Amino acid sequence: MNQEKTNISFPVDYHIHTMLCNHAKGGMESYVKKAVSAGLKEICFLDHLTLGEPGNRLSMAPEEVPFYFQAVSRIKNRYREAISIKAGLEIDFNHVHISLFNKIAESFSFDVIGASLHFPAGIDVVSRKSGWSKGENETDLIYGLYLEHLDKMLDYDYFDVICHIDLVKKFGRKPADNFEKELDHIIDKIAKKNIAVEVNTSGYDYPAKEAFPSFPILEKCRKAGVGITIGSDAHDPESIGRHYDKALPMMRSAGYGHVCIFTERKRFDVPIPNIEFKAGYPGTSEFEVRTGLSDDIKDNV
């Protein structure tokens, strides 16, 4: 995928859900208004498309995708003077449905397709009601299974970004094995395919108490030349832009000087400016963007 520069001002939030996923609150316009009031310059709706059990009840159905795309297109036009709005999908990996994923991705002018893994081999690693969240299953076994499915996901080309790449840590469970070899292989594969990795700030609100991915994984990504996006994974308007005050310094410390944004699957780089926060999450994240880059990232731009 070609990379280009763009003059759009940061900040952006590239992971926002809608009520179509059946587990988010608030109408689409309420998210847009919150993003505008928070000072964001660009957002991307990245709602769930999950096919098959057990997650399809927490997703739009394939026949709802046209309605979803049209709804984003309408609100994009309505707020075009206030904020840039992009349309995307978060597609949950399921090798049985790859042909349908490709058909959907090719049938609409989506700006970005994200790939995620919530149910490796049908095991729920994301829900608070899951056995995994309550301490069931052998930890190293599930980590190994999760990484095995991530590796399989990377054999396909229907997506541009990997969402919350280490989601399996969400409930604070740490493996005895460090899985360095498997991680290095996966990151090398990501770099060769020129896919971006999302910095997902929702992890700070869960027992993991850190972003997805962790700093060591993010640093591995940077050393491998992997681009990054940033998103709040907002399922309610108040969560837009959450924890950027924690995530942005981490991104800088890992050596990143840019984040990626997308237009019709074409990738652009946006410099990370020096952001001064006036008020943190919860509530509206109020911040101002300085015109210059902070000293600690100038060498990486």
Convert the pLDDT of each residue in 120-151 to its tens digit. Answer: 999 999 999 999 999 999 999 999 999 999 99
Alpha-carbon gap, residue 69 to 89, rounded angstroms: 9
pLDDT score of 3? 58
- In sequence order, the β-bridge partners of residue 60 are 49
Per domain, the residue ranges of the chain are 3-300
CA 79 to chain centre: 23
155 vs 153: CA distance, rounded Å: 5
What is the structure's pLDDT at 177?
Answer: 87
pTM: 0.88
Nearest Cα neighbor of 111 from 224, 267, 233 is 267
Is 111's pLDDT higher than 60? yes
Q: Please report the pLDDT score of residue 53 as a whole number.
A: 65
What CATH number belongs to 3-300?
A: 3.20.20.140
